[in-house]
């Protein structure tokens, strides 16, 4: 279902070249909205943009590396020039490489912090400044992880950065109180994506029984990325006057049938 032209909004989705980012962008396009999509893998952004258009939206694709402040500025400026000020910002870009903390290089740790935490801060900063300047309502959505409430050994940097991201979202809720700009956490469990595409298969096989020792990965259920996209749509289409602070989305355990 699409909205009327009068109610169409402008959204930014980071990490939109695959997985959850594509699903979220398409779901917002399905509302008839203008959606600017950004990611490092620019060769795949055109496909995302095409899918947004097929869903009924209007798309703009531009390279974006959230670990690079100059790339964030270039993406934001280009999207504003094309679609105007975004009133919905979905900070979806994220990454993780598994391993014990001492196995990570300082450079790898700094990169994970930049992608998962510093980048979303810088994206949100640009959007908030424009919305405040124009006196407009808006929605910031931060895609985190259930690792925040169920910390994952051998993913300690990921757990730490996603926990920090939720802290950022909650602090912004207080900073933005009374402005009409909402800050919402969407906290997914396991979903189909390319999140672990670069992981070594032997490492994955090692981690599953390892995590079960700590009560994690209790079943094999995995949900479609569209489930997370629906949560984002719910958050940003909830009428003014209501704030959905945190939405956790989990896969159901497989049935015994």
- Check which CATH number belongs to the domain holding 70 and give it: 3.40.50.720
pTM score, two decimals? Answer: 0.91
Rounded CA separation 201/215 (Å): 22
254 in any annotated domain: no
> The tokens of 150 are what?
């169920």
> The tokens of 18 are what?
């695959």
255 in any annotated domain: no
User: Which domain covers residue 79, as residue numbers?
Assistant: 5-249
48 in any annotated domain: yes
| List of residues 6+ apart from 2 with CB closer than 8 A | 30, 31, 32, 56
pLDDT-derived band at 257 (thresholds 50, 70, 90) equals low
Domain count, the chain: 1
pLDDT in tens, 213-235: 877 877 778 889 999 999 999 99
165 in any annotated domain: yes
96 in any annotated domain: yes
202 in any annotated domain: yes
As annotated, the active-site residues are 158
232 in any annotated domain: yes
61 in any annotated domain: yes
Rounded CA separation 76/210 (Å): 41
By the 10 Å C-beta count (0-12 exposed, 13-18 middle, 19+ buried), 170 is classed as: middle
């Amino acid at each position: 279902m699409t909205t009327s032209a009068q109610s169409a909004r402008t959204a930014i989705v980071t990490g939109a070249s695959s997985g959850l980012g594509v699903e979220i962008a398409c779901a917002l396009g399905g509302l008839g909205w203008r959606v600017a999509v950004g990611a490092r893998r620019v060769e795949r952004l055109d496909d995302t943009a095409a899918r947004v258009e097929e869903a009924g939206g209007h798309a703009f694709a531009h390279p974006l590396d959230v670990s690079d402040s100059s790339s964030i500025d270039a993406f934001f400026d280009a999207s504003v020039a094309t679609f105007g000020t975004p009133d919905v910002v979905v900070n979806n870009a994220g990454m993780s490489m598994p391993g014990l903390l001492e196995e990570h290089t300082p450079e790898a740790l700094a990169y994970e912090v930049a992608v998962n935490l510093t980048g979303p801060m810088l994206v949100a900063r640009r959007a908030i400044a424009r919305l405040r300047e124009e006196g407009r309502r808006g929605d910031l959505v931060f895609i985190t992880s259930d690792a925040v409430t169920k910390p994952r050994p051998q993913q300690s940097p990921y757990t730490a950065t996603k926990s920090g991201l939720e802290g950022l979202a909650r602090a912004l809720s207080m900073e933005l109180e009374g402005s009409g700009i909402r800050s919402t956490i969407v906290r997914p469990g396991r979903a189909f994506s390319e999140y672990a595409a670069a992981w070594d298969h032997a490492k994955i096989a090692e981690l599953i029984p390892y995590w079960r020792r700590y009560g994690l990965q209790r079943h094999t259920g995995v949900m479609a990325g569209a489930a997370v996209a629906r949560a984002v749509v719910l958050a940003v289409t909830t009428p003014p006057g209501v704030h959905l602070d945190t939405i956790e989305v989990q896969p159901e355990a497989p049935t015994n049938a």
